Structure 1
Amino acid sequence: MIDNITHLLFSKKFYLLLLSLCFIIPATAQDSLQLKVGGALRFNYNLSSWKDGQKKRGGDFGYDMFRVNAEAAYKGVFLNAEYRLYSDGFGGGFLKQGWVGYKFNELDQLHIGLTQVPFGIQQYNSHNWFFNLTYYVGMEDDHDMGVKYMHIGDTFEYQLAFFKNAEELKFGNNTESSPNRYSYDVTGRNKEINQFNGKFIYKFGNEAAHRLGFSAEYGKLYNLDTEDLGDHSALAAHYEFTKGKWNAKAQFITATHDPANAEGEPRDVVVMAAYGAPYEVAAHFNLYSLAVSRNIPVEWGPISNLQFYNDFGYMQKKTKGFEDTYMNVTGVLVSAGNVYTYVDYAAGYNHSWLGGNFVDDFSKGNPDAKWEARFNINIGYYF
C-alpha cells in the first residue's frame, strides 16, 4: 500500500499536473479572471462479510484517492476539470471530468468536453459513499465526451446533449476502450458512439421543493469485430423532494442494449468497466431506486452536521434465467469543517462489488447467492 501511494504522489503525471497549476495560479492577479483550485485526499476502512482473511485481520485501512479540481472563468467562458489518482489496482490516474463552457446569460450555458450526461437525478441519485445501484450500470454520474446545452430556470430545467463517445484513451483503429475510468461505460468489443440525451425537469411547491423529471437516451454501439452498429437506449422518470432537513429521491429506469456482436457471441449481456476492472451487465433491465436522508445539526467540537440516509436499488433483469440484483446502503455522513466522513453498511445480492462472483453478478447472477455486506468508513479532507 505504501509503495502504491508513493508511486502515485511522486509519479511524472502528478508533477506535470502540479506544474501546470503553477502556471495557472499567477493569472489570478488579473482582475477579470476568476480561478479556484481545490481537491481532496481520502482514506478508506472496510470490513467485508465474504473475505475471511480480512475478517480475521479486523478489516483493512488504507489510501483511497487524491484529486485536484480546477475551475476558471473569463468573459463568460469557463473551465471545470477534475483529475483523480487512485492506486494501480483501481485504475491509477484518470480524468473524472473536464469541460469548457460558455454562459449565454444567467439561465443558458453550453459545455464541451468530458461532461456529465444529462440523465436521471443529478448530481447524484444517492447520499452514500458507494452511490446507488444506478451508478454501477452507467446510469448515475456518468461522464462522456461531447457537447451539452443547459437551461436552468426557476420553474423549468432542460438539457440537450450529443456525445461522440465515452472517455477514449486509446485511438487505435481496433483498440478496445480502456477500463481505467471513473464512470461505467460499455467497453470490451463494443464502443459507445453518437449518443443523444434529453432531460426535462418541472419544479414546483414552496422554494421548488419538488422536482419532477423525465430523461431519454439513445446511442449506437460500434462492434470492433463485425464493424457493424448496434444501439442502446434508456428512459427514466424521476422525482426529488427537498424540505428543510429532509431529502428523498425516487427513480425508475428502463434500459436496453442491442450490440451487433460477432456470430456466437452473446447478445444478452454487454461488458462495462470502470476503475480498471470490466464485468458483464444484463443487456435489458429495469431499475428502481429510492433514497431518503435527514440532516441533524449538532455542536460536537468540530462536528456540525450528521446526515442519516438509506439508499435502495433493485435491478430487474429482463432475460429469462437471469437472477435480479439488489443493493441497500444505510449510513451517516459526518461533517466536521473540511473533513467529511461516510460511515456505511452496504448490503448486496448478486452485486459485483458486494461479494459473489465479480464477473457476472450484474448479468446472469447466481440463484444460490447470499446477501453479503461491507462495513465501510471513508474519511476525506476536501479543500
Structure 2
Amino acid sequence: MKSYTLIFIFYLLFVFPVSGNERKTLPQFHFGGALRFNYNFSDWNRGHRDRGGDFGYDVFLLHPTASYKKLLLDADFRFYSTAFGGFMLKYGWIGYQFNPQNRIEVGLTRVPFGIQPSGAHNFFFQIAYYVGLEDDSDMGVKFVHTGEHWEYALAFFKNAEELLFSADAEVSDDRYGYDVAGRNKEINQLNGQVFYKWGENVIQKSGVSAEFGQLYNLDTRNNGTHFAFALHHELYWKGLSLKAQATTYALYPKNAPGEGRTLITMTAYGAPYLVAAKANIYSLSLGYKFPIHWGPFKSLQIYNDFGWLQKWNDNYKDSFQNVSGCLLTAGPVQTYIDYALGKNQAWLGPDWNGFGPGGGSDSWHARFNINIGYYF
C-alpha cells in the first residue's frame, strides 16, 4: 500500500497536468548521475603483473538538483564498493539565489580553495587533492559572487563531514574529500577566495585563496590551528588549457604529550594515511581539446598534469606525481586513459604513508588506468 501511495504522490507532483500559472510555482527538478567502471594495472602490484591488471566496478553516482523560485538544492551521492568507503555524500547543499551574480549555500558545500573544481585534467586530480586542498567539501555556509570580471567566495565551516556524533568519536573514514582524522578534527574554518578574469580570445583567470581554522584534539581537548594559502592562474585559448598553482600549508595540532606534531592523519575512501603537517605544493597542468570523428567519439582531450609536494621537514622525502593521458568523449560516455607516475604517492606506489615521511622504496612507480563512465 505504501508503494502505491508514493507513486500517487510522485504523479501529483511531477506528472499531473496543471495550468501555466500553477506550473510556474512548482519546483524544478533534474536527476543526473553516472555509472563508471575502472581498469587498473599497477607495476608494484604482483597480482596485477600476474593477471594483467584488474577490471571492475568503480562507482554509481546520483546528482539531483532542484529549484523553487530562488531556493536551490544541489547534491552528489556516491556508491563505491565497501573497500573504498561504500556510500558517501560528496556534497549536498541548500541555497538561495539573491540575483544572477550572488547566492548563498548551506550544508556540505565545496571549500573555496585553489583552482575550481580541480587543478588537473586527469582522473586522479592534482596532488593537492590528497592532502585535503582540492575538491573537498565541509559543513558550513558559503557566499558566492560571480561577476563579469570578478569572482569571490567567503565561507565558514563548522567542521568536516560529521557522521559520528559521540563526544570522543574520530572522523569517519567513509568520505570523498580528504580531511584531518585520527585524534584531531577540523573545526571553525574560515575560507576566502578571489578571482579576476579577463580576455576574449584568450581567457585568463588569476586568483588567490586563503584558509584558516582550528584543530580539536580528542585527547587533550585543546585547539590547535591550521592555515593554507594559494596563488593560481588559468589560461584558456581555443582548445588549450593551462592551470598553474603554488600552495603552502601548515597544521599545528595540540596532541597529547609524547606524540609527534610533524605528521597528521588524513582520511578518505575508507583508508587513512599519514601526511606531512607542513609543506608547499607546486602544480602545472596542460591540456588540449579538439574535435574528432572516430565512430561514436566526438572529442579528444590530451593532457599532462604534474604535481610536487615539498615537505618542510628535511628528514621527509618529497612526493611527486605526473599523469599523462587523454579524455575521449562519445555523447554521454566519457573515458579517461591515464599513465600515472608517482613517487612517495600513496595511491601511485607501494608506500601508503608516502605523503608523510615517505616510503622505503623512494622510487617512481607507474599505474596504467582506464575509467569509463556513462553520464546521464
TM-score (norm 1): 0.93
- Post-superposition shift, 1:208? 7.0
Could you tell me the percent identity over the aligned residues?
Answer: 51
Q: Which runs of 5+ in 1 are unaligned?
A: 1-15
- Post-superposition shift, 1:320? 2.2
Q: Does 1:116 align with 2:110?
A: yes
In 2 relative to 1, CA 22–169 (structure 1 residues): closer, same or farther, beyond 3 Å? farther
Q: 1:275 aligns with which of 266, 269, 276?
A: 269
Residue in 2 that maps onto 1:286: 280
Equivalences, count:
365
Q: 2:63, 2:106 → 1: CA distance?
A: 17
Residue in 2 that maps onto 1:48: 42
SS in 2 for 1:206: coil
SS in 1 for 2:305: strand
Q: 1:214 aligns with which of 208, 228, 241?
A: 208
User: Does the CA contact (< 8 Å) of 2:226 and 2:251 recur in 1?
Assistant: yes
Q: 1:80 aligns with which of 60, 74, 81?
A: 74
- Post-superposition shift, 1:283? 0.3
User: Does the CA contact (< 8 Å) of 1:28 and 1:34 recur in 2?
Assistant: no
User: Does the CA contact (< 8 Å) of 1:25 and 1:35 recur in 2?
Assistant: no
Q: 2:261, 2:6 → 1: CA distance?
A: 45
Counting only pairs closer than 5 Å after superposition, residues 169-318 of structure 1 correspond to structure 2 as 169-206=163-200, 209-318=203-312
CA deviation vs aligned residue, 1:267-291 (integer Å, no higher than 9, x gap): 0011000000000000000000000
Q: 1:21, 1:345 → 2: CA distance?
A: 47
Q: 2:58, 2:8 → 1: CA distance?
A: 25
Q: Does 1:89 align with 2:83?
A: yes
SS in 2 for 1:56: helix
Residue in 2 that maps onto 1:27: 13
CA deviation vs aligned residue, 1:219-262 (integer Å, no higher than 9, x gap): 00000000000010000000001111000100000000000000
Q: Which moves more between the two structures, 281-290 or 202-211?
A: 202-211
Q: 1:158, 1:262 → 2: CA distance?
A: 38
Q: 1:349, 1:89 → 2: CA distance?
A: 24
Q: 2:207, 2:7 → 1: CA distance?
A: 38
User: Does the CA contact (< 8 Å) of 1:184 and 1:274 recur in 2?
Assistant: yes
Q: Does 1:347 align with 2:320?
A: no
**RMSD (Å) for aligned C-alpha atoms:** 1.7
In 2 relative to 1, CA 218–208 (structure 1 residues): closer, same or farther, beyond 3 Å? farther
- Post-superposition shift, 1:355? 1.1
Residue in 2 that maps onto 1:140: 134
Q: Which runs of 5+ in 2 are unaligned?
A: 16-22
Residue in 1 that maps onto 2:359: 366
Q: 1:377 aligns with which of 357, 370, 376?
A: 370
Q: 1:160 aligns with which of 154, 161, 172?
A: 154
Q: 1:355, 1:336 → 2: CA distance?
A: 32
Q: 1:324, 1:124 → 2: CA distance?
A: 22
User: Does the CA contact (< 8 Å) of 2:202 and 2:237 recur in 1?
Assistant: no
- Post-superposition shift, 1:26? 5.6
Q: 2:13, 2:346 → 1: CA distance?
A: 46
Residue in 1 that maps onto 2:20: none
User: Does the CA contact (< 8 Å) of 1:235 and 1:255 recur in 2?
Assistant: yes
- Post-superposition shift, 1:21? 11
User: Does the CA contact (< 8 Å) of 1:323 and 1:367 recur in 2?
Assistant: no
Q: 1:368, 1:331 → 2: CA distance?
A: 25
Q: 1:193, 1:277 → 2: CA distance?
A: 21
Q: 1:223, 1:111 → 2: CA distance?
A: 28
Counting only pairs closer than 5 Å after superposition, residues 9-20 of structure 1 correspond to structure 2 as none
Q: 2:8, 2:354 → 1: CA distance?
A: 45
Which amino acid counterpart does residue 372 of structure 1 have in structure 2?
H
Q: 2:109, 2:9 → 1: CA distance?
A: 24
In 2 relative to 1, CA 78–22 (structure 1 residues): closer, same or farther, beyond 3 Å? farther
User: Does the CA contact (< 8 Å) of 2:153 and 2:193 recur in 1?
Assistant: yes
Residue in 2 that maps onto 1:9: none
Q: 1:104 aligns with which of 75, 83, 98?
A: 98
In 2 relative to 1, CA 275–336 (structure 1 residues): closer, same or farther, beyond 3 Å? same
SS in 2 for 1:104: strand
Q: 1:169, 1:160 → 2: CA distance?
A: 25
In 2 relative to 1, CA 28–177 (structure 1 residues): closer, same or farther, beyond 3 Å? same
